[in-house]
Amino acid sequence: MHQNPDRSPFSPVNIGPLTLKNRFIKAATNEGMSAQGVPSRQLAKLHAGLASGGVALTTVAYCAVSRDGRTLPNQLILERDSLPHFKALTDAVHREGGKASAQITHGGCFTFIRERSTPRPLSASGGFNKIGMMSGMFLKQAMNEADMEQVVRDFAQGARLAREAGFDAVEIHMGHGYLLSQFISPLYNKRRDQYGGSLENRLRFPRRVLRAVLDAVGQDLAVVCKYSITEGVRAGNSAEDGAQIARMLEQEGAHLLVLSAGMNAESITTMFGSSFPKENRVQQKNPVIALAMALQRRMDPVVEFRELYLLEHARKVRAAVKMPLAYLGGAKSLASIEQVMAEGFDLVAMGRVLIAEPDYVNKLASGASRNSICTACNRCVAMMYTPGGTSCVLGQPGDAQLNSQRAAG
C-alpha cells in the first residue's frame, strides 16, 4: 500500500499535461441539463459554481461521441454544431479558476434511442438485449471490425472536438455497462475471437480507443479512464480483475484512472453504495425510467450507506499500479478525504456531496466545515428528470427556465 500521511488534498497535482490546483474532482453525474442535446445555461451555471466553490476539475457527464452512442434522447453529443454551447460552459468554468473535463462515451446496447444507423444496438456480443426489455429493442448486434474502427474514430474525433471546445481533459467512460464496459465485462462479452475470452482480450478494444484518444489529444489534454473496479455481481469482474485492468490501462498510457464500481442494470447499489429510496422508483413521469427503477429495486438488495464504501476494492488497484488514481465512493468528510490521501490515492472524486454543496471544497479549505450535509439518500438521482435538472432535496431545485435555454444563447 502506498502510504503518504503528509499529502494534502489542497496541494497541486499533475495529470499528464494538466496541472490541477488541488486534489478534488467533481465526478460525472447525469444532471438532466441538456434538454436540446446541448449544454443548457443551467448546466454552465452548475459547473461554474463548482469551480468557484473550489473544485479543481469538474466533469461534464455523458457526452456521446456519436448519435448512435446516445443512451437517452437529448443527451449531450460532441459534434461541431454543439461546440459553441460547450465553449460557453468551459469559458464559464475557466473564469472561476477551474478546469473542465468532458466525459466521452458510447452507450452500446445500453440505450433507449431507437433511431440509429444500424438495425440493432451495437455491443460486444449479439443476441438477447436485456436492456431492450425497457425500450422494445430486444436484440443487440455484435460489432465487427468495421464497427470497431468507426467507434474508435468517433472517440478520437470526440476528444478533438472537446479540445476545440476548451476542455482541459477528457474522461473515457469504460464502466457501468456502457459500450466499452460491455467489452470488458464477462457478463456481456461472449466473443470467441481476439476480443473475447481472457481479460486481456476483453480489454483489447477499449485499449484501442484509449490509444486513439491519446494519439489525438494526449499532448494537450489529460486523458482519464473511468471504469468499474468491481462489477458487484456474480460472474462479473472482481476487484482482482479491476487491478489487472488498471495495469493494462497504465501500460497503454492513461494519465489518470477514476475508480468507480457497479453496473447500471445489474448492481446499481454497488455504484452508489446504498439503496435507492422508494420515491425514486415510483414517482417518475417517464414510464420507461419508472419501469427501469422498479426492476432495479426488485433486483438489488437493501444496502445501508457507509463512508468509503469502495476503499477495500480500490486498495487492490492502488497496490497494483504507480499511476495517478482518483478515489470515488463515499468520501463525505475531511477525515475520510485525508484517509484516502494518506493511503496513496492522488485525487478524490465526489458526486452527490458536491451536488449538495457546490462550495464544499472551499468550506473544507477555510475550516468552515468538515462534514458534508449530504446524507447519500440518492434522491438527487431522480431529480435529474425534473424541469430544473439535478439538485439536492435539501436545497433549492434547479432553474427550469435556464435549463430550457442553450448555453450560448
Q: How far apart are CA 364 and CA 85, in angstroms?
A: 32
* Cβ atoms within 10 Å, residue 317: 26
Q: Is 195 a catalytic residue?
A: no
User: Do 247 and 318 meet the contact criterion of CB atoms below 8 Å apart?
Assistant: no
> 48 to each of 28, 58, 89, 169, 392, how far by Cα in Å?
15, 9, 8, 16, 17
Cell of 182: 460491455
Instruction: Please say whether the dihedral angle defined by the alpha carbons of residues 41, 108, 247 and 162, taken in this order, is positive or negative.
Output: negative
Rounded to 10 deg, the angle between the 145-164 and 83-95 helix axes is: 50
Q: How far apart are CA 204 and CA 214, in angstroms?
A: 15
Cell of 93: 468554468
Helix (H, G, I), strand (E, B) or coil at 142: strand
Beta bridge partners of 218: none
**Which residue is it, cell 474502427?**
149
Please pick, among 62, 178, 195, 309, the residue that the annotation labels catalytic: 178
Catalytic amino acids? 178
